[in-house]
Structure 1
Amino acid sequence: MRHGVDSGLFQQTAHSPSYFELSRTGAGELVDFCIPCNPYFPTPQMFEELSKNLEAVLKFYPSDASKIAQQLCTVLGLNPATIAMSNGSTELITWMDHLWIRESVAVPIPTFGRWTDQPMESDKRVGMFPLRESDNFELDVDEYVEFIRARGSRAAVICNPNNPDGGYLPRREIVRLMDELADLDLVVVDESFVDFVEVERNPSVAAEASIRPNVVVLKSLGKNFGLHGVRFGYLVANPGLAGKMRRTLPKWNVNSLAETVVFMLAEHEAEYAESLRLLSRDRYRMGVELSRVPDLTVYSSQANFLLVKLGGGVDGRELRDHLLSRHQVFIRECGDKLGMSSRFARLVVRPEHDVDRLVEGIRDFTRSRWTTDHASRSSEPSLLMHSA
């Protein structure tokens, strides 16, 4: 089935168009492999509970951020003095750039685009440390520290797990990196996807950040809980840094829907833990299925997405458009990510039946491409015709 999607939407921004933008262009009901949501949380019962309260949620002001923060800290076992909450983690990235990044920042690439875009927009010097494809995009702590020293960067960022490849550094390596960079103005550890890590029991360094003078850990509840539309993130840092951020942010910067979700979490911790178990299972299954597709390289991931490289000279933009128009499958082609090319795509982990649809779409694209290439070659004049 074909659907009329304007491919120009993908040229309008460094990020993919939203689900709503695509839906409004006639894409129909999409299977979304682009936006990294948790497909198992909230549960249908939680959504039903939210829908019953929707009128009040939309009609009334939320509580101030301090009251919501106190509840969040009760659930997560954090000290309220060490956190600041925001309308999405991107709001915190923006304010960290304005408050604490003075002249320069080092960022490994490829990574989440706002870590390079935001400081460049405010005329900072961004030292981009390339993660090598030949090393499976793994970050070497010693090489990164050497790069930071050589560039004279006063701030440094690391995403763990990284986006878009899902690469994960063990907790001990992150602590070592913080020790090595104790003299910098700021070290940010973006842990937006850390809840999906399964190779280590306690991967977060949030507790370490709360007692260090220059470390901030960034968290995103939207990514963990499958609620991007809520726009809810927070940081963990020592009380001085966290307090400065709280005083900078607007008093009612967290909306009523986010508040409702925070107060629901205490009653649904078991369901959240189960969602992470199911997602880990699906990540393994999805990796196996994609590995069976010819000319497709699948990278190991500890996040809720998998990075793949397309072989045979395939352009990811062509695959993206084919999947969207013929199969109503939406993927993240990575040609606009610094340090990557259109040969790469990021695919969000989804349940088995959705993966079957994705794989069939990729195989259909490969078949149609082979047919087109074969027909093109067959129509070329032969050497005998030329010699005649």
Structure 2
Amino acid sequence: MFTLLADNLRSILKFYPSDAATITEKLASTLRLNPATIAMSNGSTELITWIDHLLIKSSVAVPVPTFGRWTDQPLETGKRVDMYLLREGNNFDLGLDEYIAFIRAKGSRVAVLCNPNNPDGGYLPKREVIRFMDELADLDLVIIDESFIDFVELERNPSVSLEASIRPNVVVLKSLGKNFGLHGIRFGYQVANPALTRKIAGALPKWNLNSIAETIVFMLADHRTEYEESLKLLARDRFVMAAELSRFHELTVYPSQANFLLVKLPGGVDGVELRDYLLSEHHLLIRDCGNKIGMTSQFLRFGVRPAEEVTRLVEGLRGFARSINDEPDMTTRAMELIMPEPDPARTYA
């Protein structure tokens, strides 16, 4: 895909993109959805903004920690945000019945569910998400954020897009940028019933998609096989990476169905210092989750990477352990527990 983009860059950039209807028709054909149920946007954040302005009138329930815009956006416009705390002791798993009871008790008029969740990668089975939508059929709106749904391997066809398109109050959000690792194209879309879709699409700017995003949309069908193969490789890399990180005895590695892993450091280890060390000494960038509601800097999010990059990460963690063990005021216990010896017999086959 990069080669084709490079070969055609002049013509891609020289001319205006097609109108939204044309691009929507192509995307709908690829996804096998009704084009009347799809609205496209300049990234999913644009959709979150317009959903807040158009469809969230007073209050919204959001599990935390999660993607920050689901709490920040409605707070910025004066809405009440009812935050349902996911418990660390329960691996940040979302208890659906408890969340529904929370929504009822608070009187929330809109409910958000990210599946898989960001930053922990927790996943709810499709049947449970459908039950969630049906239990809350009387709300103003139910939002299912499926930005990372393509990375799920626990079940086939985990998305509830089709089910959402025939319900009166459900919107599903998607992100092609996250799925393809092409964050710079800023391309997201929503799926909902035609009436809701018209309301959202009517507020979006007429030229909110650029020509590169359009070109990617038109390339999707031709590269579906390669994309599905890449998802299998990512699932393998996620398993290997989780296994390697779990060898650090006091690192907590949370189960994930996304393209990242949430890790908790042991007490006494500063996640910000580790982040800065890995960037400066090993040229690896990790996500410190200290600014996420419901978390501290002890939590880090690692993007799933191939085995050779995991090896670099493991070496970086050992280097950080050695560096702080040299500090006289640092207790040795914490870093001894996260510093296993290399196992020469292990391979990445």
Correspondence for 2:309: 354
Q: For residue 222 of structure 2, give the secondary structure of its aligned residue in structure 1.
A: coil
Q: Contact (CA 8 Å) 2:175, 2:189: kept in 1 or not?
A: yes
Q: Contact (CA 8 Å) 1:316, 1:344: kept in 2 or not?
A: yes
The one-letter amino acid paired with 1:358 is L
Which digits, 9 at most, give the CA deviation of each residue in 1:108-127, with x for residues without a partner?
Answer: 00000000000000010000
Q: For residue 359 of structure 1, give the secondary structure of its aligned residue in structure 2.
A: helix
Correspondence for 2:87: 132
Q: For residue 245 of structure 2, give the secondary structure of its aligned residue in structure 1.
A: helix
Which digits, 9 at most, give the CA deviation of each residue in 1:16-59, with x for residues without a partner?
Answer: xxxxxxxxxxxxxxxxxxxxxxxxxxxxxx11110011112222
Correspondence for 1:76: 31
The one-letter amino acid paired with 1:190 is D
TM (norm. structure 2) is: 0.94
In structure 2, runs of 5+ residues without a counterpart are: 333-349
Which digits, 9 at most, give the CA deviation of each residue in 1:305-338, with x for residues without a partner?
Answer: 0000001421110100111111111000000000
Correspondence for 1:344: 299
Taking a change above 3 Å as real, the CA distance of residues 162 and 102 of structure 1, as seen in their structure-2 partners, is same
Quick one: distance in 2 between partners of 1:128 and 1:51?
A: 45
Of the three residues 263, 278, 281, the one matched with 1:323 is 278
Q: Contact (CA 8 Å) 1:293, 1:363: kept in 2 or not?
A: no
Which digits, 9 at most, give the CA deviation of each residue in 1:332-359, with x for residues without a partner?
Answer: 0000000111100000001111111111
For the pair shown, the structure with the greater C-alpha radius of gyration is 1
Correspondence for 1:238: 193
Q: Contact (CA 8 Å) 1:83, 1:236: kept in 2 or not?
A: yes
Taking a change above 3 Å as real, the CA distance of residues 268 and 376 of structure 1, as seen in their structure-2 partners, is closer
Q: Contact (CA 8 Å) 2:41, 2:208: kept in 1 or not?
A: yes
TM (norm. structure 1) is: 0.84
The one-letter amino acid paired with 1:214 is N
Q: For residue 275 of structure 2, give the secondary structure of its aligned residue in structure 1.
A: helix
In structure 1, runs of 5+ residues without a counterpart are: 1-45, 378-388
Is structure 2 residue 144 aligned with structure 1 residue 189? yes
Of the three residues 198, 206, 210, the one matched with 2:153 is 198
Q: What's the RMSD between the two structures over aligned residues?
A: 1.2
Is structure 2 residue 223 aligned with structure 1 residue 268? yes
Correspondence for 2:339: none
Q: For residue 327 of structure 2, give the secondary structure of its aligned residue in structure 1.
A: helix
Which digits, 9 at most, give the CA deviation of each residue in 1:209-258, with x for residues without a partner?
Answer: 10001000000000001110000000000000011111111111111001
Correspondence for 2:209: 254
Of the three residues 170, 189, 204, the one matched with 1:215 is 170
The one-letter amino acid paired with 1:226 is G
Correspondence for 1:98: 53
Which digits, 9 at most, give the CA deviation of each residue in 1:250-282, with x for residues without a partner?
Answer: 111111001001111111110000010000000
Quick one: distance in 2 between partners of 1:375 and 1:146?
A: 45
Shift of 1:60: 1.4
Correspondence for 2:73: 118
Quick one: distance in 2 between partners of 1:218 and 1:312?
A: 37
Shift of 1:295: 1.9
Is structure 2 residue 9 aligned with structure 1 residue 57? no
Shift of 1:374: 6.2
Q: Contact (CA 8 Å) 2:325, 2:331: kept in 1 or not?
A: no
Quick one: distance in 2 between partners of 1:117 and 1:304?
A: 24
Is structure 2 residue 146 aligned with structure 1 residue 227? no
Shift of 1:128: 0.4
Larger relative contact order (CA 8 Å, sep ≥ 6)? 1
Of the three residues 368, 372, 380, the one matched with 2:323 is 368
Correspondence for 1:335: 290
Equivalent pairs, count: 332
